[in-house]
Amino acid sequence: MNIFYFARIRENIGISSEEINLPSGVKTVSDLIRFLEDKGDNYSAAFAESDLIRVAVNNDYVGLDYKITDKDEIAIFPPMTGG
């Protein structure tokens, strides 16, 4: 599975994308975030405030309870500040 990070979350983690093998227990976006948080302090800092996390799966915004599979492309980013 490919994961892309943007803005503050990209900077916290220190990379803009990565490929992971989806662990069997990870069924939803929030499971994935919990899994990623365990990868290190940079990840737990990035996801410390759940209010400040937004997610897209295959280029559509989704909620944290959205179900994911290994074929999905995930993007994780903070609330948008366009305009």
Per CB under 8 A, the list member of 8, 20, 28, 72 interacting with other proteins is 8
Residue 56 contacts other proteins per CB under 8 A: yes
- How far apart CA 12 and CA 68 sit, in angstroms, is 24
Which parts of 13-52 interact with other proteins (CB under 8 A)?
Answer: none
**What is the pairing mode between strands 73-77 and 2-5?**
parallel
Q: In angstroms, what is the minimal distance from the CB of 6 to other proteins?
A: 6
Q: Is the Cβ of residue 10 or residue 27 nearer to other proteins in the bound state? A: 10
- How far apart CA 71 and CA 78 sit, in angstroms, is 23
Residues contributing to the site for other proteins (CB under 8 A): 4, 6-8, 10-11, 56, 59, 61, 75, 77-83
